[in-house]
């Protein structure tokens, strides 16, 4: 079950780069919160943002992905690498995913740092 929940969270992270949410299992009532502000109001809204949201279009790669599972919660840490590539900028991201028994993401809570040069 742990590896299944990690794979569900990883599919979301992969969609940040690929801009294709088709493999992301979002509950219709899923919400996303960044720094206490709701930025995703439903599963379909979050999927549209992953596919076409300008805030995600800056992301061209992810590195250093780690995940821990505690019951229904998967806590991830990784770096998103942002455009323009030539600058070598990346920001640390920490996200928690609440995943229900049906394997759907119910809640995403995100915190991220400022982009900085990563060599």
CATH number at residue 67: 3.10.450.50
CB half-sphere exposure, 86, CA atoms < 13 A: 0
- Over the chain (119 residues), the average pLDDT of each successive run of 10 is 91 96 98 95 97 91 97 97 89 97 98 86
CB within 8 A of 22, min separation 6: which ones? Answer: none
Q: Say how many domains are in the chain.
A: 1
Distance in angstroms (rounded) separating the CA atoms of residues 80 and 90: 5
Residue-number span of the structural domain to which 21 is assigned? 2-117
pLDDT at 86: 84
pLDDT at 74: 98
């Amino acid at each position: 079950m742990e590896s299944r929940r990690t794979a569900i969270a990883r599919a979301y992270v992969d969609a940040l780069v690929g801009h294709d949410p088709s493999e992301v299992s979002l509950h219709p009532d899923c919400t996303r919160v960044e720094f206490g502000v709701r930025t995703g109001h439903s599963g379909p809204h979050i999927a549209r943002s992953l596919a076409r949201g300008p805030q995600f279009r800056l992301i061209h790669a992810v590195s250093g992905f780690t995940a821990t599972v505690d019951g229904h919660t998967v806590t991830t840490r990784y770096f998103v690498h942002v455009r323009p590539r030539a600058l070598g900028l990346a920001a640390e991201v920490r996200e928690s995913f609440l995943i229900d028994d049906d394997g759907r993401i119910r809640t995403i809570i995100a915190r991220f740092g400022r982009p900085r040069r990563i060599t």
